[in-house]
Each structure stands twice: as C-alpha cells, then as structure tokens.
Amino acid sequence: MPKKERKRLQVVISDEQDALLTRTAYELSSPERLISKSEVVRLAIEKIARELGEGENLEQYRAILETDELAEG
C-alpha cells in the first residue's frame, strides 16, 4: 500500500503503551530490517479494521474501549 502524506494524529499514550509499542517493534524487527513504532501502529490499525469488517472481535474491542474510558475518566 503506498504511503500518503497526511496530517499525523497526535495521540497521547501511556508509558505502558509506549513500552508495548517498543517491544512489539523490536519483536517484529529482524537483522535485515528494523520495524518502527509507527509501522506497528499502522499494522494494528489495518488488523483491527480488517477484523471489524469481518465481524470478528467486535465485543472484545468494545469492552477494551469501555475499560480504557473508565480508567481515563
């Protein structure tokens, strides 16, 4: 998929989420290619959108979002 220049979203994440991104990027990386945290985010967006489009994990994602909202509020 070609990359398009778009205004980047500025999303505030917790230290724990940043650590998860870092660890995931490290685990996906190989000696031949380092994977960035931005690539991990793009991959996650595509995976979630694909799953939702196929009707998978809808209730699981809703539950996670509701739990996150309670933690933030």
Q: What letter does residue 54 receive in the DSSP assignment?
A: T
pTM of the model: 0.74
Contact status, residue 64 vs residue 58, Cβ threshold 8 Å: no
What does the pLDDT read at residue 44?
95
What does the pLDDT read at residue 25?
97
Q: What is the DSSP string of 10-55?
A: -----HHHHHHHHHHHHHH-BTTBPPPHHHHHHHHHHHHHHHHHTT
In the chain, which residues have pLDDT < 50?
Answer: none
Closest CA to 26 of 17, 35, 15: 35
What does the pLDDT read at residue 73?
58
